[in-house]
């Protein structure tokens, strides 16, 4: 659940090892190049081919899906002056979200959390390099990403999308990753309410399991959400000139969303913790009730059974001191009366204790 | 319980979608325009009509009830230079309370928490724009707001109400939202005391449920109260000139109230957490007592029943070694004596253990 | 328990409403006026009368017991330039302790916590205005205050009391309120030890109740102690000239005492939380022991009773396969031997499990 | 356990009352005076006598054991310009460790925690005044202190001891108090391991008591350790010239030790908290097991006893419908077979539930 | 478990006592001396011998395995101006990781946590002195260290290894200690998942023990990880010139790794805490189920056994009021019917309570 990917201890720094992945083919390299008037979209077989199209007077968004081509990454690194350690972080896909400033670009690691086709929660690392005229994004898998609507907006050319610079594109991409949290949080909220209902009506081992898994999921989301807010906090305080004042207003909005996400996460954690208490209490209450029933029934019948046992003894009735009651004409009636009295006494006792 | 309203991920920033609402008619637009001497109050059918009345030498309080008319909001935005993201926040009604400074105005998002007609706790977002000569407030529902007494004070024209500027009006409105917390906190405090009494006398599943719901309500109030204090903290440190020194003294009072609210909330949370412990302990104590009763009764009667059982066996008394006791002249008496001795021994044992 | 006093929401700011009080007569107005050489002490019927005596070359300590004369407060406010909001805070007696600086005076709200005549813990708000030559104190009730010894020291004129300025008088008064905490903390400490003894010997529902009430009291003390320390922290950093360097040394001593109080409070909270765990564990241990006794007795006698039951059956002994044991010459002895073996086996089993 | 010593509320500030003490004789006044070449050690009957020996060109360490001679303290105060409040703190021996700077000296309050002759943990307040050429230390009891080895080092004159100034002597004394923590922490650590072993094997009420007492001791150590670190933190940032750069390196070492002590204390607290959970769980597990045994035995034998009971009934066998089984030739065998089947069924049921 | 090694209280500062160790022979002294072109590697019998080889134009890495030769350490101290307190810290091997700056070198204490040959987790202190042209490392044991791959990289001379200065070597060594955390964390993560599975299926005392030990290990790792991050935080803010800008980029990578380690550790702690709750709940659930079975069986059969007991009584049937039922022709059938009715009633009752 908590992904710990790491190089074998002692590996030299900046060693490039592709992350284990189901994805085997060559990476998919695409370019979207645009300015206010024009937009070009293309897929390339090699990085060299792509660079022939690169135009520093426009905004170039290079997206690479799949991290298994080390040679490609080296070329990328050379072209955009990417530090070897940053490149290593791109490949070590269990990085904590962070932003680092290098001489002429920002390096941002974020997490894309989304529901995949089977509606399971998938986590994928997004590495992003933001320079003055380019954005390079690197993703683990090629099957799915959360940027389709950013692309659609670029194509349509409406709104701010094409009027602003690479920093705004970066904002749009990061905003897409943040927005993914909300539908997931919504599901979590719903499942907490379901668990709550179950707990108060009929708690089972499965309820417990769901609750624990919910807590684990919240932990995972939290580990992504807190550093993500840090990223926005760093970017809106940017003084490198890579991010314009105008875009910072938009990033402030992302920061607000992150804060809201963290707020909701913490509330959910509080609720989940409270539910565990409710669970324990509700178990205690049930045990209590069960015990009460057992005790009441036992306490009433055990003495009665004892009395019956006494008069079932076979002492020789020829001796006058041996069980003379058995020979009384109304012995049985007396015995039943005694039993009824005992039972009645017990019931009164329990009523007074509010156990009945 | 925790409202998560969000645009579908990937929606372009500053997209304006009215929040889902039961309220369907056109929004109600009202203007209260006043200075020291005069006050005008009117309701308008359109924003254009209202702007003909707008007078920048007076204080103009424009209130819009209902957020479903996007066209109106766009005009508003144009008139008062409202940033599209702020406008989006107005519509996305699960915003965290916050204050943002734009060039010539403050944008404040707060929460109105009040008891509605059915005395349920209702939460409604209040969006407020404070400029030099105007205050624009936007509310979700038109049925209810918490500003009636502010209006009454403006009409009466006594006290500070009409002598001060738009910043003081903002203070008065925010103060109204803060004041709503106190009666709600009072009810919460009372219900905590009720739960406490119940817990110590006769805890049931319903007590547990009330306790959990109380904790949830505290969580919700807390999520509103902490950022609200932040708002006042920002405003009393204002250096934009939009808020006068004089008004800041009043805002400091709001800040104190917010602190007091947070203080009480945290105390209540502590108490509620303590009550959960009390609940668990009190359950444990009851189980304990029930078990003691069961054990004492069982431990006394089970051995007696066994003795009775032994002398109820039917071994053929013709053989001299078979149950000779049955033929003793005082066998029955001896048997009862044995039973009494055993019972007495048990009772002594339990007395010594302080179980009786 | 947690006093929530508030104005009805929407009340105009600085509305003056006397707090609900048992005290009905007019407030008691007293003046103590002193310098190094002289001291005057008097009680006045009206504020005007008092002001004729006021002498700005001496230290004037005006004390007002009872807050129900709004007119008096207005005159006070006029005389000493007290801000209407401060006056409102004087009357709203569930204020959080705080210190506020106004142009020519400090406004301090503190809490007097003391044991009243019935040795219950009473909480009363103290409002204090410190100007260059005066101290005005306002109290809720006239019956009791914690300043008698300050007055005695002023009368005696020994020590620092009359040699220093109004700031030192303020220190002396605040110091009196802080000192009240210690005897209360001492009692709390003793009651924690009592509860602890009870918990480990014979926990009952009353122990639980005392523990919970102890925790509540600690919560209340804490809510008073933390902001009180803040007051001293503010005053020893004073740069308004109202508080001399010399007095600041004394206030630092108060700050230390406050820190010590908070320290002890937090330790007590930790202990009380630990006691709740001890309580739960000790309950668990008792339940455990009770269960063990029940189980051991049941497990030994239930099989024996069963054996006795078998040989109490009435199968027709005329058929040779029906209960031939009953007709054995040593059947009874064999049966008792079997029972002893079973009992011995059970006892061995429980001994091995360390249940006996 | 938590010592709360305090003056009666309302006592004038700087009132000197000797702390309650078993120690009754006059205080023991000793002087150690040294420089690089010489060392003088003496005990004096009065402070005046001592001051005739005082030599400001050497380092003078004045140690006073016993705080019951107020006159002596007044003379001390006069001689070294000690503030009355500091003197009060010397006598009020439940001070929180702290350091205060007065014009020409530091006033340091620390705690000596050590094992006394009966190897109980004793806590004694150490008050220390550090001037340019003198160190004055005041202790509560005269029987024991933790400075013997500092004295030995001064006498021997090896190492740094006599080469450095009064600040280094202060360091050496404080270092001695810090070092005392380690052996105590070691014992605590051992006792935690013992408790842990007991908990997992055979928890009793005494284990619980030890655990709770361990937690209390940790709380007490913690209350001493945290402010002690603050002292070193203040001293290594000293800019008054009373503490040389060279000594600050040594004080940094003390700071590190304090940090380590706090670190260990916090770990122990975590462990102790974890042990409480282990205790509760292990109780739960035992209860569980006990219940299982009870349930299995009861569930097997109770139905069997019932069957035996049925065939022990005395219905008149003359009527053909009354208990015809009793007259079957193989009735007894059939009955035993039925019993065996029921028992076997129960055992199978419990095996499937993994209760056996 | 928590190693508390300390000098006897009162030991003079900077006393050098070798730590207790199994390692008895003389320490192993090795030198690796390199620059871009050359590398020399050698082992020396004495420090003097080694110093003849020392060359300040190259990078000299002196490694000393074993701390039992005090004389050697004194020579080292003299040669590299090592402060006696630093030397003491080298020997006191339960130091908290830290970095200290002395005039011309850094002194760094870190912890090597690794799995030894028996794959137990071993903790060893690493002391490191970083000067302009040298790195001195001191280790406790000579058997094992985590630097083999650093040596291999130096020998190979590829990558950054030989191109950079002593600061980079320091980075490489510290990076090796940090990297060791990841495989250990991975095992911890796996064991948490195992415990989780066990808890939800069949919790035993061993599961509890594993969980507690896991928590203890996490505590220990945490005590190492937090201060380690502090080291990197200090080094990347270095302004002494001992660490180049270029190396700081690498140290920032270490800082990120440390942050990630702490992040994972905290998540694990949260999970482990949650597991304890799951454990308690799952125990409660089992107890609950066991009780339910016991109660249902008891409640059904105890009344039946009582009825059987009644008709097993031996009242003299000659009196017409004594047990006339026994003489009814269908008495037995009636009795069985009564029993069936009672049993059916009980079963219905439990079905309605959802206990069956």
Look at A3-12, A54-63, D149-158 and tell me which has the smallest mean pLDDT.
A3-12
- CB contact residues (below 8 A), chain C span 220-259, against chain D: 249-250, 252-253, 256, 259
**Mean pLDDT of all residues in D273-301:** 89
Residue B7's pLDDT is: 72
- Could B208 and A160 be called an inter-chain contact, meaning their C-beta atoms sit closer than 8 Å? no
pLDDT band at C142 (very low <50, low <70, confident <90, very high): low
Question: Is position B325 within any domain?
Answer: yes
pLDDT-derived band at A145, boundaries 50, 70, 90: confident
Residues A155 and A290 grouped into a single domain: no
Do E236 and E329 belong to one domain? no
Which of E95, E125, E158 represents a domain boundary (last residue)? E158
User: Which residue did the predictor score with more confidence, A207 or D135?
Assistant: D135
Q: Do E149 and A11 touch (CB under 8 A)?
A: yes
Residues D238 and D336 in one domain: no
D299 belongs to a structural domain: no
Question: Which residues does chain A have within 8 Å of residue E175's beta carbon, measured at their own beta carbons?
Answer: 13
End-to-end C-alpha distance for chain D, whole angstroms: 48
Q: Average pLDDT, stretch A218-247?
A: 91
Give Cβ neighbours of residue D153 (< 8 Å, ≥ 6 apart): D159, D161, D172, E12
Residues spanned by the domain of D251:
180-291
Taking contacts as CB-CB distances below 8 angstroms, the residues of chain C near D4 are 182, 185-186, 189, 264
Q: Which residues of A fall within a CB distance of 8 Å from B286?
A: 288
Select from D57, D27, D53, D25 the least CA-distant residue to D41: D53
| pLDDT value for C105 | 94
> Cβ separation of C317 and B315 shorter than 8 Å?
no
**For the purposes of burial, counting CB atoms within 10 Å of the CB of C317, is it exposed (0-12), middle (13-18) or buried (19 or more)?**
middle
Interface of E with D in 71-130 (CB under 8 A): 83, 85, 88-89, 94-96, 98, 100
Nearest Cβ partner of B185 from C4, C212, C317?
Answer: C4
CB E248 within 8 A of CB E235: yes
Which chain A residue is nearest to residue E259, measuring alpha carbons?
A: A96
Inform me whether the pLDDT recorded for C132 exceeds 80. yes
Q: Is residue E2 pLDDT above 60, yes or no? A: no
Per-residue pLDDT tens digits for C175-208:
999 998 998 999 899 999 899 888 877 778 888 8
Residue D114 has pLDDT above 90, yes or no: no
Q: Could you report the per-residue pLDDT of B211-223, keeping only the tens digit for each?
A: 988 898 999 899 8
**Could C208 and B282 be called an inter-chain contact, meaning their C-beta atoms sit closer than 8 Å?**
yes
- The more confidently predicted of residues D24 and E263 is E263
**What percent of chain C is predicted at pLDDT more than 70?**
97
CB D168 within 8 A of CB D243: no
In chain E, the number of structural domains is 3
Residue C169 resides in a domain: no
Is E169 among the domain residues?
no
CATH number for the domain that contains residue D276: 1.20.58.340
Cα gap E255→E238, rounded to integer Å:
14
> Nearest-CA residue of chain E relative to D249?
E85
User: Which residue in the set A95, A279, A330 is minimally distant from E281, CB to CB?
Assistant: A279
Q: Is the pLDDT of residue E4 over 70?
A: no
Which contiguous run of DSSP H or E holds residue E61? strand E59-65
Chain C environment of B280 (Cβ under 8 Å): 280
- B186/B254 same-domain check: yes
D295 near E CB under 8 A:
yes
Section D341-353 average pLDDT = 92
Quickly state the pLDDT bin for A207 (edges 50, 70, 90). confident
Q: With 60 as the cut, is the pLDDT of residue A168 above it?
A: yes
Residue E305 has a pLDDT of: 93
Residues C28 and C135 in one domain: yes
Together in a domain, C37 and C148? yes
Q: Report if residue A265 sits inside a domain.
A: no
The pLDDT > 70 percentage for chain A reads: 97
- What per-residue confidence (pLDDT) applies to E161? 80
pLDDT in tens, D1-33: 555 667 777 777 777 777 776 666 788 999 999
> Which one has a higher pLDDT value, C119 or D237?
D237
The residues with which B202 forms a beta bridge, in sequence order, are none
Instruction: Give the pairing type, strands A59-65 and A134-139.
Output: parallel
* Residues in chain B where the model's pLDDT stays below 50: none
pLDDT digits (tens, 9 = 90+) for E105-139: 999 999 988 887 777 888 889 999 999 999 999 99
Residue D4 confidence (pLDDT): 67
Contact E330 D319 (CB under 8 A): yes
Residue of C5, C8, C9, C93 for testing the chain B interface, max B β-carbons within 10 Å: C9
Nearest-Cα distance to chain D for C322, in Å, is: 5
Ramachandran angles phi, psi of B162, nearest 5°: -95, -10
Phi-psi domain of B20 (left: phi exceeds 0; alpha: psi -120 through 50; beta: other)? beta
Which chains have 3 or more CB–CB distances shorter than 8 Å to chain D? C, E
Q: How far apart are the first and last CA of chain A?
A: 49
Asked if C127 and C229 sit in the same domain, the reply is no
Contacts of D309 in chain C (CB under 8 A): 309
- Taking CB atoms and an 8 Å cutoff, what residues of chain B touch C219? 267, 270-271
Long-range contacts of E221-224 (CB under 8 A, 24+ apart): E221/E113, E221/E181, E221/E184, E221/E185, E221/E188, E221/E261, E221/E265, E222/E262, E222/E265, E222/E269, E223/D263, E223/D267, E223/E2, E223/E96, E224/E97, E224/E111, E224/E113, E224/E123
Percentage of residues of chain B with pLDDT beyond 90: 51
Among A159, A194, A216, the domain boundary falls at: A159
Asked if the C-beta of C168 comes within 8 angstroms of chain D's C-beta atoms, the answer is no
B59-65 vs B134-139, strand pairing mode: parallel
Asked if the C-beta of C186 comes within 8 angstroms of chain D's C-beta atoms, the answer is: yes
Q: Is residue B274 part of a domain?
A: yes
Task: State residue B276's pLDDT score.
Answer: 87
H helix runs in E81-142, sequence order: 84-91
Q: Distance between alpha carbon D60 and the CA centroid of its chain, in Å? A: 34
| Lowest pLDDT segment from C46-50, D23-27, E83-87 | D23-27
pLDDT tens-place string over residues E22-32: 666 788 999 99
Query: Phi and psi dihedrals of A330, rounded to 5?
Result: -110, 30
The residues facing A102 across adjacent strands are A105
Q: Are residues B2 and B142 in the same domain?
A: yes
Q: In what order do the strands lie in the sheet with A59-65?
A: A39-44, A28-34, A59-65, A134-139, A121-130, A105-115, A98-102
Residue D298 lies in a domain: no
Q: Which residues of B197-214 are buried (b: 16+ CB within 10 A; e: fewer)?
A: ebbbeebeeebbebbbeb
A28: domain CATH number is 3.30.460.20
Q: Are residues B33 and B69 in the same domain?
A: yes
Give E-chain residues touching A83 at CB under 8 angstroms.
Answer: 249
Are residues D256 and E332, on separate chains, in Cβ contact within 8 Å? no
The reply to whether residue C179 touches residue D216, judged by beta carbons under 8 angstroms, is no
Among E262, E248, E5, residue whose Cα is nearest residue E125:
E5
> Element (H or E) spanning C135, and its range?
strand C134-139
Among B11, B13, B21, smallest CA distance to A183 is for: B11
Same domain, D151 and D9: yes
Assess whether B224 and B209 both reside in one domain.
Answer: yes
Quick check: C22 pLDDT over 70? no
D195 domain-assigned: yes
pLDDT band at A23 (very low <50, low <70, confident <90, very high): low
Chain A touched by B304 (CB under 8 Å): yes
ipTM of the predicted assembly exceeds 0.85 = no
Neighbouring C-alpha atoms within 13 Å toward the C-beta of C329: 1
Output the pLDDT for position B3: 59
**Which chain D residues have a beta carbon less than 8 Å from that of E324?**
none
Run of H or E including D19: none
The lowest-confidence range among A165-169, B25-29, D10-14, D317-321 is: D10-14
Same domain flag for D100 and D185: no
By CB neighbour count within 10 A (0-12 exposed, 13-18 middle, 19+ buried), where does B107 fall?
A: buried
Asked if A280 reaches chain E (Cβ–Cβ under 8 Å), the answer is yes
Q: Which of B127, B160, B193 is the last residue of a domain?
A: B160
Confidence (pTM): 0.85
Q: What percent of chain C has pLDDT above 90?
A: 51
Q: Name residue E174's beta-bridge partners.
A: none
| Nearest CA-CA distance, residue E220 and chain D, Å | 8
């Amino acid at each position: 659940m908590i992904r710990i990917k790491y190089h074998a201890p002692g590996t030299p720094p900046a060693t490039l090892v592709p992350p284990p992945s189901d994805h085997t083919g060559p990476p998919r390299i695409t370019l979207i190049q645009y300015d206010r008037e024009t937009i070009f979209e293309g897929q390339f077989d090699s990085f060299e081919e792509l660079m022939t199209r690169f135009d520093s007077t426009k905004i170039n968004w290079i997206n690479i899906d799949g991290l298994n081509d080390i040679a490609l990454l080296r070329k990328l690194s050379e072209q955009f002056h990417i530090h070897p350690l940053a490149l290593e972080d791109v490949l070590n896909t269990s990085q904590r979200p962070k932003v680092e400033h290098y001489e002429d670009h920002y390096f941002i690691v974020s997490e894309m959390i989304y529901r995949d086709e089977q509606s399971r929660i998938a986590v994928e690392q997004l590495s992003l390099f933001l320079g003055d005229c380019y954005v390079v994004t690197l993703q683990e898998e090629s099957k799915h990403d959360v940027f389709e609507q950013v692309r659609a907006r670029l194509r349509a050319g409406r709104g701010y999308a094409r009027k602003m610079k690479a920093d705004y594109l970066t904002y749009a991409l990061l905003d897409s990753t943040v927005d993914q949290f909300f539908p997931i949080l919504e599901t979590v909220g719903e499942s907490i309410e379901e668990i709550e209902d179950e707990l108060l009506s009929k708690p089972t081992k499965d309820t417990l399991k769901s609750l624990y898994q919910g807590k684990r999921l919240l932990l995972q989301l939290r580990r992504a959400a807190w550093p993500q807010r840090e990223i926005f906090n760093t970017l809106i305080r940017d003084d490198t000139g890579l991010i314009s004042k105008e875009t910072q207003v938009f990033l402030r909005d992302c920061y607000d969303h992150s804060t809201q996400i963290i707020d909701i996460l913490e509330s959910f954690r509080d609720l989940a913790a409270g539910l565990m208490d409710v669970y324990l209490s509700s178990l205690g209450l049930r045990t209590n009730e069960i015990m009460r029933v057992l005790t009441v029934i036992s306490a009433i019948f055990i003495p009665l059974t004892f009395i019956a046992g006494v008069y079932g003894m076979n002492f020789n009735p020829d001796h006058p001191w041996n069980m003379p009651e058995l020979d009384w004409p109304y012995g049985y009636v007396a015995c039943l009366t005694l039993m009824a009295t005992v039972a009645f006494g017990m019931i009164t006792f329990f009523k007074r204790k509010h156990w009945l």
